[in-house]
């Protein structure tokens, strides 16, 4: 430990904060590359069919155009199985509106964009499957083994014989990732078999592997550079078609190519959160004990590929019920394949479950917090494993205390101020806690008494503070001040690491760095041949042994006994809403979220994470919705003018409470990721508060004014 004291657990400012606020942080489009050309996608204007003819002559003659690449002249790829979204110009098929059907390369972005308008396409149209209401009736069992029906006990009989029950359908619409920085890629071929990509990637090594497979290269021949990511929320978790097309275009024109998606292109280029229709059937005894939970999700996926977010996961583990069934049905549709979006399945599934729990508590005339606590499971109901730790009850109690839950009245429409009806709601959320294999190198150098460290791994920083928590971890592990720690991440040439996805980043990266600190300290002690009564730090050993440089590498893995436990982070969310009785407009002036997330590395960045999740959850509850035109299959919501995300005036005071939770089983450092749990349970809390305010139960999101009038 340095003389500054322990850094883990302290609210340390972001070490890369100055770079970001001064504009010095480099994102994909900021990298200067010599002889750059600019790519621009052009996309299909039908929902299904094939391209009969594509006229590119006028575009090819347009000023500044270097090449027009379509399925007619595009090089053939070796493999595209790990590339998302299709549209790789390998055939004439069109499977959704907005599919990539070509890329123009020009001397400037403006020239490429103009030339795209000159292209004319003749299609042979087919009937597009784009009407969810119609095709949901044809939904079938999914192919994925982890989405098959799971049954515990006899839920059908338990429901039929129950004294109190809820049997309702809850709907969540298509939503889109819209990170601050839209997707962009710059591709540079340094030789026929050596490719460098500047690409904002949540999983650096994953994109490396996908591009290597696509072009038949060895993974080490592809380098992915991504020091900063302007948000991603799951959309930057893998390689989409435009990434491959940028590299393909650079290969064709034999010079570097930069391709940036416009905000409008984002809606049909990088996936989405699919629409989910969730049928919940809950049963309980008159004294408030759940006897059965049934959760069926009907959704859609791409016409020739399958992805289903696991909405039923929350119902498997959240509450104790002897009988349960979770099932999925999916309809193939001519819409781009859905993908992971912040807390996939857990945010949407928690809205349905927590709404149904609130409905059942109201039918029982039981306080919804009391109802949840009464059905707290002693172990994981889905597999019988003990919890590594579970603090949901503490979250409910502490959150209620901070929020002032005792002011809530059970009957709706009891609190009023002027033209506003005031309501209070609660909703809980969860997300798995996992560590993934991650390697790291630590390099120590000394000049005189000045010892410094470089920490290197192919991790990524979504903007959540990865650089900072790794510097804190290394500072404590090496006995150095934070300003003596250099962090190198976001480069596939560094030791391979887990991705910033699935809330595994902090646990995987920090544990790897911590293990590397332990290893390098032990190696230095062994090298000295000395024995110590008090274990010295690595920094002290560098000085005492007069070493100028020393390094080590660790290949960190999860604890072997971790699989014996069920590891999850849990939260309880409390919303206060004001609903204008005349207009139906909803305000959320106050929100409290209480979370049990094991060891908190940095309260400042953790608080920021939770606040961001709550804001998105409020948007999910009240504003966000992507609408498909059933005539064509295109999104009519394709900018921030019509796809509404919460702005400053939509968000009130948000308070985060971290309950004390020590977890000795989830990983060595006891870390639980919180990147996703922040949104889980939020929409349910808001919807439940709206019912408490108005007496109107809205079961399909978003809760817009027309649904309350």
Q: Active-site residues: which are they?
A: 676
- Rg, Å, the chain Cα set: 27
Q: Omega before 329 cis (within 30°)?
A: no
Distance CA 411, CA 699 (A): 19
| Both structure tokens of 150 | 């799971």
Give me the half-sphere count of Cα atoms (radius 13 Å) on the Cβ side of residue 687.
34
Task: Return d(Cα 684, Cα 682) in angstroms, integer.
Answer: 5
The DSSP secondary structure of 490-512, one letter per residue, reads: SBTTSPP---S-TT-HHHHHHHH
d(CA 211, CA 230): 21
The tokens of 274 are what?
């699919």
Distance set, CA 167 to CA 15, 310, 384, 426 (Å) = 51, 20, 27, 20
- Contacts of residues 603-607 at CB distance under 8 Å and 24 or more positions apart, as own/partner, are 603/9, 603/10, 603/11, 603/658, 604/11, 604/12, 604/13, 605/14, 605/464, 605/465, 605/468, 605/469, 606/656, 606/658, 606/674, 607/656
CB 203 within 8 A of CB 237: yes
Eight-state DSSP code of residue 65: E
Nearest alpha carbon to residue 568 among 666, 669, 660: 666
Q: Could you tell me if 237 and 460 are in contact, meaning their C-beta atoms sit under 8 angstroms apart?
A: no
Alpha helices in 237-296 (DSSP H): 241-253
Which strands sit side by side in the sheet containing 438-447, from one edge to the other? 485-488, 450-456, 438-447, 549-556
Q: Partners of 572 in the beta sheet?
A: 428, 594
Quickly list H helices, 434-504: 466-478
Structure tokens at 167: 């049997």
Q: Supply 658's token pair.
A: 């971290």
Strand ranges, E, within 112-181: 120-125, 150-152, 164-172
Between helix 505-528 and helix 466-478 the angle, nearest 10°, is 20
Residue 649: strand, helix, or coil: helix
The answer to whether 188 and 33 are in contact (CB under 8 A) is yes
Strands in 241-322 per DSSP E: 257-260, 276-284, 290-302
- 256 vs 445: CA distance, rounded Å: 36
SS3 call for 622: helix
Distance CA 260, CA 65 (A): 17
Dist CA 373 CA 393 (whole Å) = 6
CA gap 16, 535 in Å, rounded: 32
Sign of CA dihedral 230, 236, 241, 244: positive
């Amino acid at each position: 430990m340095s003389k500054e004291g322990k850094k883990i657990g302290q609210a340390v400012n972001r070490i890369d904060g100055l770079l970001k606020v001064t504009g010095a942080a480099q994102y994909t489009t900021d990298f200067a590359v010599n002889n750059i050309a600019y790519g621009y996608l052009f996309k299909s204007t039908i929902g299904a069919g094939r391209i009969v003819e594509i006229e590119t002559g006028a575009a090819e003659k347009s000023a500044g155009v270097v090449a027009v690449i379509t399925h007619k002249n595009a090089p053939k790829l070796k493999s595209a199985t790990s590339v998302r979204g299709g549209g790789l110009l390998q055939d004439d098929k069109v499977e959704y509106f907005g599919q990539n059907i070509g890329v123009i390369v020009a001397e400037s972005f403006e020239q490429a964009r103009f030339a795209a308008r000159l292209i004319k396409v003749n299609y042979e149209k087919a009937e597009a499957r784009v009407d969810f209401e119609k095709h949901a009736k044809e939904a079938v069992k999914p192919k994925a083994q982890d989405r098959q029906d799971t049954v515990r006990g006899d839920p059908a009989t338990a429901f039929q014989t129950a004294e109190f029950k809820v049997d309702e359908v809850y709907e969540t619409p298509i939503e889109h990732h819209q990170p601050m920085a839209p997707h962009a890629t710059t591709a540079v071929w340094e030789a026929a078999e050596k490719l460098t990509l500047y690409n904002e990637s949540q999983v650096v090594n994953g994109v490396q592997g996908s591009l290597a497979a696509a072009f038949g290269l060895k993974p080490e021949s592809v380098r992915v550079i991504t020091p900063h990511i302007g948000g991603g929320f799951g959309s930057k978790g893998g390689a989409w078609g435009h990434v491959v097309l940028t590299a393909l275009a650079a290969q064709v024109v034999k010079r570097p190519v930069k391709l940036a998606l416009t905000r409008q292109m984002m809606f049909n280029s990088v996936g989405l959160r699919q629409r989910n229709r969730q049928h919940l059937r809950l049963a309980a005894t008159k004294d408030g004990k759940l006897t059965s939970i049934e959760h069926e999700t009907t959704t859609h996926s791409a016409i020739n590929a399958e992805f289903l977010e696991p909405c039923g996961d929350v119902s498997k583990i959240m509450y104790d019920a002897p009988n349960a069934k979770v099932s999925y049905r999916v309809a193939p549709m001519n819409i781009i394949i859905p993908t992971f979006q912040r807390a996939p399945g857990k945010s949407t599934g928690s809205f349905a479950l927590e709404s149904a729990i609130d409905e059942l508590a109201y039918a029982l005339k039981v306080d919804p917090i009391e109802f949840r606590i009464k059905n707290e499971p002693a172990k994981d109901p889905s597999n019988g494993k003990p919890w590594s730790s579970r603090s949901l009850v503490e979250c409910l109690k502490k959150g209620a205390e901070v929020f002032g839950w005792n002011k809530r009245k059970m009957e709706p429409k009891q609190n009023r101020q002027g033209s506003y009806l005031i309501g209070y709601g609660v909703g809980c959320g969860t997300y798995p806690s996992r560590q993934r294999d991650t390697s790291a190198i630590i390099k120590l150098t000394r000049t005189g008494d000045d010892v410094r460290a470089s920490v290197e791994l192919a991790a990524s920083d979504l903007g959540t503070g990865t650089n900072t928590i790794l510097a804190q971890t290394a500072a404590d592990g090496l006995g150095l001040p934070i300003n003596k720690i250099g962090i190198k991440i976001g480069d596939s040439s560094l030791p391979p690491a887990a991705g910033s996805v699935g809330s595994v980043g902090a646990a995987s990266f920090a544990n790897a760095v911590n293990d590397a600190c332990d290893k390098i300290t032990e190696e230095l002690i062994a090298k000295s041949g000395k024995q110590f009564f008090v274990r010295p730090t690595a920094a002290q050993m560098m000085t005492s042994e007069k070493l100028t440089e020393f390094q080590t590498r660790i290949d960190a893995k999860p604890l072997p006994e971790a699989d014996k436990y069920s590891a999850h982070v849990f939260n309880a969310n409390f919303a206060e809403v004001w609903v204008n009785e005349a207009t139906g407009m909803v305000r959320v002036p106050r929100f409290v979220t209480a979370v049990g997330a094991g060891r908190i590395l940095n309260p400042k960045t953790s608080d920021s994470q939770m606040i961001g999740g709550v804001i998105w959850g409020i948007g999910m509850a009240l504003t966000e919705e992507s609408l498909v035109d059933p005539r064509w299959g295109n999104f009519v919501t394709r900018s921030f003018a019509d796809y509404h995300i919460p702005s400053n005036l939509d968000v009130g005071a948000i308070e985060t409470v971290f309950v004390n939770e020590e977890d000795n089983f989830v990983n060595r450092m006891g870390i639980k990721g919180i990147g996703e749990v922040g949104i889980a349970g939020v929409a349910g809390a808001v919807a439940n508060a709206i019912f408490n305010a108005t007496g109107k139960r809205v079961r399909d999101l978003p809760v817009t004014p027309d649904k309350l009038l």
